[in-house]
Amino acid sequence: MANSRRDKADSYTQRAHREGYPARSVYKLEEINQTHHLIKPGDSVLDVGAAPGSWTLFTHRELIKGKGKIVSVDLNPLNLNPVPPTVTAFVGDAFSKEIRQRLVEEGPYDAIISDAAPMTTGNRTVDTTRSEWLAEQVVLLSQEQLKTHGNLVIKIFQGGGQEAVLKTMRTMFQKAKAFKPKACRDDSFEIYLIGLDKKE
Ligand X SMILES: C[S@@+](CC[C@H](N)C(=O)[O-])C[C@H]1O[C@@H](n2cnc3c(N)ncnc32)[C@H](O)[C@@H]1O
- The catalytic residue positions are 155
Cis before 41 (ω within 30): no
- Strands 87-91 and 109-114 come out as unpaired
Q: Which stretch binds ligand X (CB under 6 A): 17-25, 60-68, 103-111, 144-152?
A: 17-25
Residue 94 binding ligand X, by CB under 6 A: yes
The partner residues of 45 in beta bridges, in order of sequence, read 70, 111
198 near 146, Cβ under 8 Å? yes
Judged by CB, which is closer to ligand X: 134, or 139?
134
Q: By CB under 6 A, name the one of 16, 50, 184, 196 that touches ligand X.
A: 50
Residue 54 binding ligand X, by CB under 6 A: yes
Residue 52 binding ligand X, by CB under 6 A: yes
CB of 174 to ligand X, least distance (A): 25
Residue 156 binding ligand X, by CB under 6 A: no
Measured distance CA(102)–CA(146) in Å, rounded: 15
Q: By CB under 6 A, name the one of 9, 63, 73, 166 that touches ligand X.
A: 73
CA proximity to 200, closest of 150, 158, 140: 150
- Strands 69-74 and 146-157 come out as unpaired
Residue 88 binding ligand X, by CB under 6 A: no
142 near 160, Cβ under 8 Å? no
Judged by CB, which is closer to ligand X: 14, or 76?
76
Q: By CB under 6 A, name the one of 16, 32, 39, 51 that touches ligand X.
A: 51
Q: Collect all residues with Cβ–Cβ distance below 8 Å to 100 and sequence separation of at least 6.
A: 94, 141
Applying CB under 6 A, the residues found at the interface with ligand X are 22-23, 25-26, 49-55, 73-76, 93-95, 115-118, 134
